[in-house]
Structure formats: structure tokens, C-alpha cells
């Protein structure tokens, strides 16, 4: 079977004319995320939010054109919205970037969701998911209505962290999130088969994420905690752009904080105009469960100063503690398992600060309009 190349696909897509611009969709820069894998073709077509589903004929024509390329096994073409797409929102219009940091104004982005907060990390393995889960639980214990969206498509961990075996069920047009420990929970892990090849996950994440926000019956919640995939690459940047974030929290270990990872994360959010609410230092110190001795295992200890140097608010330090790992592995993160423990207090304090920084519910002005459609 002939091997299908990107060039062949693009050539086919050049025959597809966007009626709104009387030019082909490749020249207009509307095609993104082109991936050809074993002659399976995936790409996205970016259209301004205002066109919405009206652009479906363009998508269908593009899929048909690629399908005719000799050797193509399957075509997956999705519509996605981007503020910079041709004919996209004009400055000042809904969907356009707002006037300055944290001031992306507009009508309520996601009905029924007070504020969306991303939990990010410069790299994997720093405890981002553990922190996201405990932060969500702590916000809940502090009296808020909370959702947790596990958007880490490369390693969804929420089903494991909460030992969830249920799957979300349809509720009319929407999917009802799984209720767990007082949280409304959704995970990419519910939708992605474990053996799905990694190559498909990158492009998938964008549309899946949009659906997770729009087609899930979250309402009414005060805050939605989104566990982003680790790293600060393009995938994360796109997600940060496409989710109407009220703010972001960065999780780092002491040694990574001294490295550049946290700063990269910070810059990424600044680029997309999302306020960084602060940094959580995870595995900060080790407290001996037997004698209570506190050891700065990483010999660092100056995380707060380091955060200040990076111009980052410091949200708190979570110790390295076997209980935190054991409770997570057992499917009941520590804030749920031991809500009155010292560790839970640490998370609750962080949750209070996060909520304060969001404006204590008065964050609506920070939320941009939803800029994503399919």
C-alpha cells in the first residue's frame, strides 16, 4: 500500500474552498494538527467561534477530499475554534483577547461553573495529580461546590486516585460527571481507551477537552479544578488557550523549582494571559512519622524565596509523606481519608489562598468568553 504523505494530504486539502473567504483552507491557514499515521489521517480545521457548526460543510468536504487520496485508510477531521483564525473575533469582540493580564472580559464563559483553575507542572512525576485531587477535595471541605477534570490524556490518574469504576452516564444531551467524595469528577481516562496510541492523544486532547467543558453537566459548581498534562509544550499552551481559565497553579518539587521548569510554566500562562495564582511546593520536606523530625531532604528549603525571585506567589509547601502516597494509592486521597490530619490542613490552607486569589467567587470578570466550539 502506498504510504500517504503530509504533502499529499495538503494537496488534497488545497482543493477545498472556504466559501466565507473564497480561498482554499490550506492557504487560509485553517488546517492544523495534521498527523498521518499508518495512512490514518487526522487534522483539525480552525474556524472562528462565530461560525460554529455552520462550518460543518467545509469539514465534510475536507474529509471527503482527503479520503480520495490513494492509500488513505481513515480520515478524522474535526472543527475547532481559534481566536486567530481567519475572520476570527475582532479586537474587543467576544472571543478576542482582553485588555491585559487576567482581564479577558466577556460574558459568562461556562454556564454553571464559577471559575476554572488549572493545575500544571513543568514535568511529570512531581505530584501534580495528587495535588490537584487534594486541592479539589480541600476546596470542597472548605465549603465550596467543586468539580475535578482530569485532562492529563497521557496519564489520566483520577480514576486510580479515587478508585472509580463507574463511568459517566448520559443525562439528556449531556454527560453526567461521576460523583465521588462530594466532587463532580470527569477524566479523559473515562473516554480514552488505555491502548489508544499516544500519537492520537495529542490532537484528540483539544476536542476532548472542549467536550469535557461544554458537554458535561457540571452545573452548578463554584470551581472546576483541571489537572493538565505535565509539561509546558504546545499541547499545554493550546489547552491553556482554549479553556477559559480564571487562573493557574503550578506544582513543583524543590529541586525543579531551582531549575527552570516552573519558570517555563509561568511564562506559558503569561503568554496566554492567564493569571498564575501561585506555586505549590510538593515533596517539600520530610517529616519523620516516628519522631516528628523535619528533614529538608533536598537541602533546599528556600522555596518561598525562590518563588519570589521568579515573581511567583507561594501557595504552600506539602511534605513528602508516605501517608500522602499510600492514601492516593488506596483510592482515597489524604484530604478525603484524613480530613482532620495535619496534611489535610496544609491542603485546606492552600485551597483557601487559591480561592482568595480567585476573588472568592468574584472571579467572573477574569473569565474570558468561551472561545471554543466544535
**Cβ 102 to ligand ADP shortest distance, Å:** 25
230 in contact with ligand ADP (CB under 6 A): yes
- Provide the 3-class DSSP secondary structure of residue 367: coil
Candidates 94, 97, 124, 359: give the one binding ligand ADP (CB under 6 A).
Answer: 124
CA–CA separation, 366 and 362 (whole Å):
9
CA distance 136 to 182: 10
Q: Site for ligand ADP (CB under 6 A): which residue of 282, 355, 363, 372?
A: 282
Closest distance between ligand ADP and the C-beta of residue 337, in Å? Answer: 13
Report, in Å, the least distance between residue 129 CB and ligand ADP.
Answer: 3
Identify any residues that bridge with 278 across adjacent strands, giving them in sequence order: 249
Residue with the CB atom nearest ligand ADP in the bound state: 127
Could you tell me the CA-to-CA distances from 273 to 49, 75, 135, 276 in Å, in that order? 19, 34, 23, 9
C-alpha pair distances (Å), 113 with each of 139, 145, 276, 286: 14, 10, 19, 37
- 8-state DSSP, 299: S
The values of phi and psi at residue 64, to 5°, are: -65, -40
Start-to-end CA distance of the chain, whole Å, equals: 33
Interface with ligand ADP by CB under 6 A: which range of 52-60, 76-84, 211-219, 318-326?
Answer: 318-326
Stretch of 18-26, 39-47, 49-57, 323-331 contacting ligand ADP, by CB under 6 A: 323-331
Question: Contact between 181 and ligand ADP (CB under 6 A)?
Answer: no
Give 130 or 187: the residue with its C-beta nearer to ligand ADP: 130
Nearer to ligand ADP, 130 or 210 (CB): 130
331 binds ligand ADP (CB under 6 A): no
Distance CA 243, CA 110 (A): 10
From the list 116, 172, 124, the residue with the least C-alpha distance to 147 is: 116
| 59 contributes a contact to ligand ADP by CB under 6 A | no
The answer to whether 328 contacts ligand ADP (rule: CB under 6 A) is: yes
320 counts as binding ligand ADP under rule CB under 6 A: yes
131 or 238: whose CB is closer to ligand ADP? 131
Helices within the chain (DSSP H only): 6-13, 56-67, 128-141, 158-161, 188-191, 198-214, 234-242, 254-258, 261-271, 303-309, 322-329, 334-337, 342-357
Look at the alpha carbons of 243, 245, 249, 255 in this order and tell me if their dihedral is positive or negative.
Answer: positive
210 near ligand ADP, rule: CB under 6 A = no
In whole angstroms, how close is the CB of 245 to ligand ADP at the nearest point?
18
Kindly write out the interface string for residues 127-166 of this chain, putting x where it contacts ligand ADP by CB under 6 A and - elsewhere: xxxx--------------------------x---------
C-beta closer to ligand ADP: residue 218 or 347: 347
Does residue 187 interact with ligand ADP by CB under 6 A? no
Of 80 and 157, nearer to ligand ADP (C-beta) is 157
Write out the residues near ligand ADP by the rule CB under 6 A: 121, 124-130, 157, 230, 282-283, 318, 320-321, 324-325, 328
Amino acid at each position: 500500500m502506498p504510504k500517504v504523505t503530509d504533502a499529499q494530504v495538503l494537496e488534497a486539502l488545497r482543493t477545498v474552498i472556504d466559501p466565507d473567504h473564497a480561498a482554499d483552507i490550506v492557504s487560509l491557514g485553517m488546517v492544523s494538527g495534521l498527523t498521518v499515521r499508518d495512512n490514518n489521517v487526522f487534522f483539525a480545521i480552525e474556524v472562528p467561534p462565530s461560525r460554529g457548526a455552520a462550518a460543518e460543510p467545509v469539514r465534510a468536504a475536507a474529509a471527503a477530499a482527503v479520503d480520495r487520496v490513494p492509500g488513505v485508510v481513515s480520515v478524522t477531521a474535526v472543527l475547532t475554534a481559534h481566536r486567530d483564525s481567519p475572520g476570527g473575533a475582532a479586537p474587543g469582540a467576544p472571543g478576542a483577547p482582553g485588555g491585559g493580564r487576567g482581564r479577558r472580559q466577556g460574558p459568562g464563559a461556562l454556564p454553571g461553573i464559577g471559575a476554572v483553575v488549572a493545575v500544571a507542572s513543568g514535568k511529570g512525576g512531581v505530584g501534580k495529580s495528587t495535588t490537584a485531587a487534594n486541592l479539589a477535595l480541600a476546596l470542597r471541605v472548605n465549603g465550596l461546590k467543586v468539580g475535578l477534570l482530569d485532562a492529563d490524556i497521557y496519564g489520566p490518574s483520577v480514576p486510580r486516585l479515587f478508585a472509580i469504576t463507574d463511568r459517566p452516564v448520559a443525562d439528556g444531551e449531556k454527560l453526567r460527571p461521576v460523583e465521588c467524595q462530594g466532587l463532580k469528577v470527569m477524566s479523559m481516562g473515562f473516554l480514552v481507551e488505555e491502548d489508544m496510541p499516544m500519537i492520537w492523544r495529542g490532537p484528540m486532547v483539544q476536542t476532548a477537552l472542549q467536550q469535557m467543558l461544554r458537554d458535561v453537566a457540571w452545573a452548578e459548581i463554584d470551581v472546576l479544578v483541571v489537572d493538565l498534562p505535565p509539561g509546558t509544550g504546545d499541547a499545554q499552551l493550546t489547552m491553556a488557550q482554549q479553556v477559559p481559565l480564571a487562573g493557574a497553579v503550578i506544582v513543583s518539587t524543590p529541586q525543579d523549582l531551582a531549575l527552570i521548569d516552573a519558570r517555563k510554566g509561568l511564562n506559558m500562562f503569561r503568554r496566554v494571559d492567564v493569571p498564575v495564582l501561585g506555586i505549590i511546593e510538593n515533596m517539600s520536606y520530610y517529616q519523620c512519622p516516628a519522631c516528628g523530625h523535619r528533614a529538608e531532604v533536598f537541602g533546599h528549603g528556600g522555596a518561598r524565596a525562590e518563588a519570589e525571585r521568579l515573581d511567583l506567589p507561594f501557595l504552600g509547601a506539602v511534605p513528602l509523606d508516605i501517608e500522602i502516597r499510600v492514601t492516593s494509592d488506596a483510592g482515597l486521597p489524604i484530604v478525603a481519608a484524613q480530613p482532620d490530619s495535619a496534611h489535610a490542613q496544609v491542603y485546606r490552607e492552600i485551597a483557601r489562598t487559591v480561592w482568595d486569589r480567585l476573588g472568592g467567587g468574584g472571579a467572573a470578570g477574569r473569565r474570558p468568553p468561551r472561545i471554543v466550539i466544535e
